[in-house]
Structure 1
Amino acid sequence: MLPALRHIDCWIFDLDNSLYPASTNLFELIDIRMGRFIQELLGCDAEEARRVQKGYFHEHGTTLAGLMKAHGTDPRTFLDYVHDIDLARITADPRVVDALDRLPGRKFVFTNGDERYAGRVLDRLGLANAFDGLHDIHAMDYVPKPDPRAYAAMCARFEIVPTSALFVEDMARNLIPAKALGMCTVWVDNGSEQAGREAHPAFIDYRTADIGEWLTDIVKEEHP
């Protein structure tokens, strides 16, 4: 393992577009469902629904947070609806499965999605038993990343020492609170403009376009 990572005993991973390639565009399906939900909720057309959806995302961190604040939307109803998608686009990456199995220490998923959806995705990725815990939007009390309270709550819940932890995330801005806590950070640069917003070397320790390749290199250092 790289000398700079030998102190890491806790590995934390974002889920969507981090543990699987953004090129699968799974979020396209979720995006469509979000639009339909908002159309039905507000009685508006698709164009207005998209404006509302993206506005809430940028202002509140998630579309759900905006809907809850502005319309009192029930989070479980919303999440069940938008995550009711076909996951055939994603498949297991043997490199990620093998590397996570060989990484020393505890592993967690930290996602703005919910546990039910995350469980389906992890099962599809061959990672159903790869993690020691999952901190989802319900556990965050609907205060999503990048709000620092979400990170603090996760660390408290799982007794994570931030200075011994590493966080992998495709949304660069979500690495800022992790770095502030003392975590080592890895940005999965998936090439999208949205993911790279606010990216800065000050809070990014490692950068990769392929988490499978990066993890494989890490475990090779440990077990050549």
Structure 2
Amino acid sequence: MANTSESGADLSHVRSWIFDLDNTLYPPESQFMKLVEKRINQYVVRTSGLAADAAMVAQKGYLRDYGTSLAGLMAHYRVDPHDFLAEVHDVPLDVLTPDPGLRAGLERLQGPRLIFTNGSVAHAERVLERLALTDLFDGLFALEDADLIPKPDPRTFARMTERFSVDPASAAFFEDTVRNLAPAKAIGMTTVLVGGHAFDVEADYVDHRTTTLDTFLATAILTPGDPAP
């Protein structure tokens, strides 16, 4: 199995730091994504004519088969993707709160910090502002930047790395959805699975695992030969 230590991970080779957004830069326990999922369900109900329960089954199937609910909807129905993104992300941000520990961990990182999300640009900007992290990130690659082709499609990884001139061999990718780490590992990135399920997943393309991102970043070894703080 890959490294299962939450503390003291050797990331001294990393020069580019790439982070998923939702359920990665804030804990899933906030239930924030449940609000988004509810809006998606309402959209699927209205578009498909299915009852709410059946729409939820379809929604989860789209996520599994296409990478996002939007991609599944576009494959089966005539939908305006930009209207979809605006509608489903129009949720209150009250449950999200800034985390000083996470901010301190991010501040330790030397090199560009990037957001790589299957959400929209506007959604990412709202969430980062709410988390008081906007100033720490040097770039954002959202679903619109990928021509609506979501992770884990390798084409989207190629486009993201090209956009920001990322050398995968010196990049780390932090993500809560394990399958999104596979294409990152395939091109040479160091992969970090984040979240409460991180230690329950068997995947040889996961290099590091952590339930708490702030602790992982606070204790990572960032300079060759130097101990973590």
Q: Stretches of 4+ moved more than 3 A in 1?
A: 1-4, 219-224
Report the counterpart of residue 17 of structure 2 in structure 1: 11
Q: CA deviation at 1:43?
A: 2.5
Percent of aligned pairs sharing the same letter: 42
Matched, 1:186 2:192: yes
Q: Would you say the 8 A contact 2:12–2:221 is kept in 1? A: no
Q: Would you say the 8 A contact 1:103–1:219 is kept in 2? A: no
Q: Residue by residue, what CA displacement relative to the aligned partner does 1:114-161 show, whole Å, maximum 9, x if unpaired?
A: 110011111111101111101111111111111111111100111100
Q: List aligned pairs for 1:75-114, cutoff 5 A.
A: 75-114=81-120
Which deviates more, 213-222 or 101-110?
A: 213-222
Structure 1 length normalisation: TM-score?
Answer: 0.92
- Partner secondary structure for residue 116 of structure 1: helix
Q: CA deviation at 1:107?
A: 0.5
Q: CA deviation at 1:189?
A: 3.0
Q: List aligned pairs for 1:101-140, cutoff 5 A.
A: 101-140=107-146
Q: Distance in 2 between matches of 1:206 and 1:155?
A: 21
Q: Distance in 1 between matches of 2:204 and 2:48?
A: 41
Q: Distance in 1 between matches of 2:43 and 2:21?
A: 23
Residue type at the aligned position of 1:216: A
Q: CA deviation at 1:2?
A: 5.9
Report the counterpart of residue 217 of structure 1 in structure 2: 219
Residue type at the aligned position of 2:124: A
Structure 2 length normalisation: TM-score?
Answer: 0.90
Q: Would you say the 8 A contact 2:8–2:216 is kept in 1? A: no
| Alignment equivalent of 1:167, drawn from 159, 167, 173 | 173
Residue type at the aligned position of 2:208: Y
Q: Distance in 1 between matches of 2:61 and 2:217?
A: 35
Matched, 1:26 2:32: yes
Q: Distance in 2 between matches of 1:109 and 1:163?
A: 18
Structure with greater contact order relative to length (CA < 8 Å, sep ≥ 6):
2
Matched, 1:157 2:159: no
Report the counterpart of residue 205 of structure 1 in structure 2: 207
Which deviates more, 158-167 or 40-49?
A: 40-49
Residue type at the aligned position of 1:37: Y
Report the counterpart of residue 44 of structure 2 in structure 1: 38
Change (3 A) 1:3 1:25: closer
Report the counterpart of residue 65 of structure 2 in structure 1: 59
Q: CA deviation at 1:4?
A: 3.6
The CA RMSD measured in Å over matched residues stands at: 2.1
